[in-house]
Copies of this chain bind each other. A is one copy, B any other.
Amino acid sequence: MTDLVPTREHTELASAVRNLLDRRSDSRSVRRAIEQPTGFDTDLWSTLCDQIGAAALAIPEEHGGAGFTLAETYVVLEELGRALTPSPLLPSVVTSAALVSAGGQGPLLERIAGGAIATLAWSGVTGPADTAAEVTWSDGALHGSVSPVLCGDVAEILLVPAHHDGGIGLFSVDPTAAGLTRTRVAGLDPTISFAGLTLDGVPAEVIELDAANVLATTHLVGTLSTTALQVGCAQRGLDMTVDYTKQREQFGRPIGSFQALKHRMADLLVGVQMSRAGAWAAVQAHVHGAPNADRLAAAAASYCGESAMAVAAETIQLHGGIAITWEHDAHLVLKRAQALNQLFGLPHQQRAALIF
């Protein structure tokens, strides 16, 4: 039963990432990263890839990866969530999951393992698994548009699901190809960057013509990866709020000593603990190929999303006025929680997957 609790190796990995982010992704660094043209700190990303091997963890060794599992990726993502770090790891993980699932894509996987920015331009990334692609493939080229796409404007590797006469396929596109327009869109959350893509006869390489199963697996991986970010984000909001209410005094006492506030924070802790337990178990179920893995993933996603939103709302409310200033990190927690809530399907859509 040891897989229900992170191992010592997982704990050490988490510490290593946290130490790095403490130094390189504090509040000031996050704000600087947001302002960069890429929307993230490219130096930090290089360090994450070189020192931690973040992008390579779940990629098989024969394709230049570390040959670990999604569990190790989960550990890194939870820390990135906690630090509110802008990062291309989520689309990278999703894209490599698609390629591993499709099979035989060594060269692309090697580039991703090395840190190339990769993304999957599919509305399933911001919605439920049964969302159709808005792109079609004919005569070897792609037509249509899709938005919003995670890191869509800066991706060096770009996969696009598209309809064709025989079903839904998965294609690879040169991000610099003629006919492809990529436009950064102003997101609700400045720490997660999106772009809109239009494809006007863009030449495409076939990865897999019958990609329905590949996309289902990819959606599952994306869902689980998002729960990691949500758990980290919720933990950050809770920590920040507990610290603040211990220090802030009103009516001659720390506001954290007021029982109504204590009970609300206690409820948040309960939610965060349950989220983490559910998310970790779902990741382990996926890694072990358990038959109920997709149900556990949907359950965890519905719960982690709502729990992170609840923490974020209280983070704002219990910080009071300073929460709604740009200088304070409380609003970043809120925007991150809200943005994550939509990824791979809203909680109610995840729940819909759990009933007949």
Contacts and interface: CB of A to CB of B under 8 A. Distances in A.
Contacts of A68: none
A260 interface: yes
A263 interface: yes
Interface string A241-282: 000000000000000001111110000000000000000000
Contacts of A259: 258-261
Nearest to A261: B259
A131 B260 CA distance: 44
Contacts of A260: 259-260, 262-263
Q: How large is the interface on A (under 10, 10 to 19, 20 to 34, 35 or more residues)?
A: under 10
Interface string A215-252: 00000000000000000000000000000000000000
Q: Is the interface of A mostly helix, strand, loop or mixed?
A: helix
Contacts of A261: 259
A261 B258 CA distance: 11
Contacts of A262: 260
A258 B263 CA distance: 11
A260 B258 CA distance: 8
A261 B260 CA distance: 7
Contacts of A263: 260
Nearest to A264: B260
A3 B190 CA distance: 51
A37 B260 CA distance: 47
A258 B262 CA distance: 11
A258 B261 CA distance: 11
Nearest to A258: B259
A263 B262 CA distance: 12
A270 to B, nearest CB: 15
A348 to B, nearest CB: 14
A266 to B, nearest CB: 10
A262 B260 CA distance: 8
A263 B263 CA distance: 11
Interface in A120-156: none
Interface in A307-327: none
A351 to B, nearest CB: 15
A350 to B, nearest CB: 20
A260 B262 CA distance: 8
A209 B262 CA distance: 62
* Most B-side CB within 10 Å, residue of A258, A260, A261: A260
Contacts of A258: 259
A260 B259 CA distance: 5
A263 B264 CA distance: 11
A272 to B, nearest CB: 19
A259 B261 CA distance: 8
* Most B-side CB within 10 Å, residue of A261, A262, A263: A263
A44 B43 CA distance: 83
A260 B267 CA distance: 12
Nearest to A266: B260
Nearest to A257: B259
Report, nearest first, the 7 A-B pairs whose CB atoms are least far apart.
A259-B260, A260-B263, A260-B260, A259-B259, A258-B259, A260-B262, A259-B261
6 contacts: A259-B259, A259-B260, A259-B261, A260-B260, A260-B262, A260-B263
Interface of A: 258-263
